[in-house]
């Protein structure tokens, strides 16, 4: 590397200067790859963060990205492999040897490894999995469906027979501490390895050495099946405030546990998925999607919104006579539609979050809807009052026909649409959840377009009675 050149470093800034700097970095890297001057290049790249390396790899042409990736040491390659978008990762490794890929995968922790393999095509899994050190664990995990407790769970847990004494259990933990890792709960099983109870580690340490753990365990233990959806697992854990959820098979045998870290992972995944759905985008969408995938993933949602908007336009058109009598009514259509959409989205977002975390259950539905109703009608009255004041000020500055009745019409419409939209937004996600449809799909396009139609209909109906 020439001495007069600045140190090779990627810039994470988003300004023009950073863009030009990264173009020069890219040019230097490509030159060193072409002339096979790779030793100083790799030495320098070892000091880069995985994020910067990932940005560099995605900026390089694919053949050069493959070449550079093969030169990187195992540890950085592992972190990069876990972060690369699925399609790009598959292409990046297409020409690589299976041995190199297996070498990288064998350095990963089991959970990271499983998450990475989830993104691989089946043809590649058939080649790679039989060569992995953790083959048995991975094959067992893959056997369970996606987003299930069995796919997510850790197979490292501490369990003792109910006849164990506290002293014997503590001695066993000490002798195998390096294997068990961190844990807060000891599970208790019977002679057939069926889960019968649990015991807090703090409680275990305070017992007399000769105390039988089966006599002091908590027999009221909550467990989930390996095939339970991960979102349902999160709800059950939230209700009981459990930090470590045991997983059992169809015979009630203990086969794993879901840790606090894994539950947090579920929360992040579900939140990310819900945010994508609420924005009218498929959860599988990626920044690197091709034009075809962008069209396929977004066009259905856009068409749904188009149909809803067209219906709203037809509703407006059906009140053509009213608009001819008082054109000023058209000025408040965006206000009514905006308030309806926002009110519905707010209520539906809270409902989706409550369903995801388990804080909404059947017995609380009516009480929650009553609170939503009271909150929405209060917000509507406040917003209507503000709108009344604005119309009154406007009547001073401009000539407005019958401003008092116009203000009353707009304010009353605002109260009604805000309340109705909030009730729709709070109810639809719960109904969809009951019939097995992801409630996050209720937000975004569906709630907004339906409330637009309702808002316009309510507004012109009210205007027909009060203003015209």
For position 188, what pLDDT does the model report?
A: 92
CA nearest neighbour of 153 among 222, 235, 82, 246: 246
* Helices and strands per DSSP (H, E), number in the chain: 23, 6
Q: Are 102 and 132 in contact (CB under 8 A)?
A: yes
> How far is residue 246's CA from residue 150's CA, in Å, rounded to a whole number?
11
Bridge partners (DSSP) of residue 185 are: 200
Low-confidence ranges of the chain (pLDDT < 70): 1-6, 14, 74-98, 100, 111, 115, 119-121, 123-124, 177-181, 241, 243, 270-291, 293-299, 301-302, 305, 322-326, 356-365, 438, 440-445, 468
> How far is residue 242's CA from residue 236's CA, in Å, rounded to a whole number?
8
For position 212, what pLDDT does the model report?
A: 92
Q: Are 129 and 94 in contact (CB under 8 A)?
A: no
For position 182, what pLDDT does the model report?
A: 72
Q: Check residue 145 and report its DSSP letter.
A: P
For position 195, what pLDDT does the model report?
A: 92
Q: Are 137 and 153 in contact (CB under 8 A)?
A: no
**Sheet of 245-248, strand order:** 224-225, 245-248, 254-258
CA distances from 186 to 8, 161, 244, 253 (A): 51, 11, 10, 15
> 60-69, long-range: CB within 8 Å, 24+ apart, which pairs?
60/26, 60/29, 60/30, 61/30, 62/91, 62/92, 64/30, 64/33, 65/92, 66/92, 66/93, 66/94, 66/95, 66/96, 67/33, 68/29, 68/33, 69/93, 69/96
For position 2, what pLDDT does the model report?
A: 42
Written as six digits, the tokens of 392 are 């009154």
Alpha carbon 272 to chain centroid distance?
Answer: 2
Q: Are 43 and 36 in contact (CB under 8 A)?
A: no
For position 280, what pLDDT does the model report?
A: 59
**Sheet of 185-189, strand order:** 159-161, 185-189, 195-200
Bridge partners (DSSP) of residue 199 are: 186
Q: Are 86 and 58 in contact (CB under 8 A)?
A: no
Q: Are 204 and 216 in contact (CB under 8 A)?
A: no
For position 297, what pLDDT does the model report?
A: 65
Helix or strand run (H / E) with residue 245 = strand 245-248
Domains of the chain: 16-146 (1.25.60.10), 159-261 (3.10.580.10), 291-466 (1.10.357.20)
Q: Check residue 186 and report its DSSP letter.
A: E
CA nearest neighbour of 335 among 466, 467, 462, 455: 455
Query: What is the CA angle 428-147-187, rounded to 5?
Result: 115
Bridge partners (DSSP) of residue 161 are: 189
Q: Are 137 and 155 in contact (CB under 8 A)?
A: yes
Residue bearing tokens 């940005």: 55
Mean pLDDT across the chain: 78
């Amino acid at each position: 590397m020439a001495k007069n050149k600045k140190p090779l470093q990627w810039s994470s800034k988003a300004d023009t200067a950073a863009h030009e700097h990264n173009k020069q970095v890219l040019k230097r890297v490509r030159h060193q790859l072409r002339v096979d001057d790779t030793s100083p290049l790799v030495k320098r790249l070892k000091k880069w963060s995985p994020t910067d390396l990932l940005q560099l790899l995605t900026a390089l042409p694919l053949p050069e990205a493959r070449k550079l990736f093969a030169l990187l040491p195992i540890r950085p390659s592992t972190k990069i492999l876990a972060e690369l978008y699925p399609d790009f990762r598959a292409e990046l490794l297409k020409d690589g040897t299976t041995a190199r890929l297996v070498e990288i995968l064998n350095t990963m922790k089991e959970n990271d490894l499983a998450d990475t393999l989830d993104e691989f095509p089946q043809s590649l899994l058939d080649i790679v999995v039989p060569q992995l050190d953790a083959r048995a664990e991975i094959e067992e995990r893959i056997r369970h469906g996606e987003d299930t407790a069995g796919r997510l769970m850790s197979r490292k847990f501490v369990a003792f027979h109910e006849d164990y004494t506290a002293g014997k259990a503590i001695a066993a933990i000490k002798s195998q501490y390096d294997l068990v890792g961190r844990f807060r709960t000891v599970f208790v099983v019977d002679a057939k390895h069926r889960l019968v109870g649990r015991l807090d580690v703090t409680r275990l340490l305070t017992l007399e050495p000769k105390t039988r753990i089966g006599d002091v365990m908590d027999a009221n233990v909550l467990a989930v099946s390996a095939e339970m959806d991960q979102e349902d697992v999160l709800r059950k854990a939230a209700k009981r405030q459990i930090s470590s959820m045991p997983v059992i098979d169809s015979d009630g045998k203990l086969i794993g546990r879901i840790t606090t870290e894994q539950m947090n992972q579920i929360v992040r995944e579900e939140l990310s998925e819900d945010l994508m759905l609420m924005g009218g985008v498929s959860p599988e969408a990626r920044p690197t999607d091709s034009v075809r995938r962008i069209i396929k993933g977004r066009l259905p949602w856009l068409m749904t919104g188009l149909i809803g908007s067209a219906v709203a336009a037809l509703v407006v058109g059906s009140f053509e006579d009213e608009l001819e009598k008082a054109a000023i009514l058209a000025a408040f259509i965006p206000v009514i539609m905006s308030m309806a959409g926002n009110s519905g989205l707010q209520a539906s977002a809270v409902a989706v979050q409550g369903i995801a975390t388990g804080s909404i259950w059947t017995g609380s539905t009516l009480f929650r809807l009553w609170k939503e109703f009271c909150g929405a009608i209060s917000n509507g009255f406040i917003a209507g009052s503000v709108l009344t004041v604005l119309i009154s000020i406007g009547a001073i500055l401009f000539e407005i026909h019958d401003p008092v009745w116009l203000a009353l019409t707009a304010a009353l419409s605002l109260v009604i649409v805000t309340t109705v939209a909030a009730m729709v937004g709070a109810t639809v996600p719960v109904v969809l959840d009951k019939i097995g449809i992801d409630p996050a799909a209720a937000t975004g396009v569906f709630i907004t377009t339906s409330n637009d139609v309702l808002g316009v209909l309510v507004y012109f109906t009210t205007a027909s009675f009060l203003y015209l």
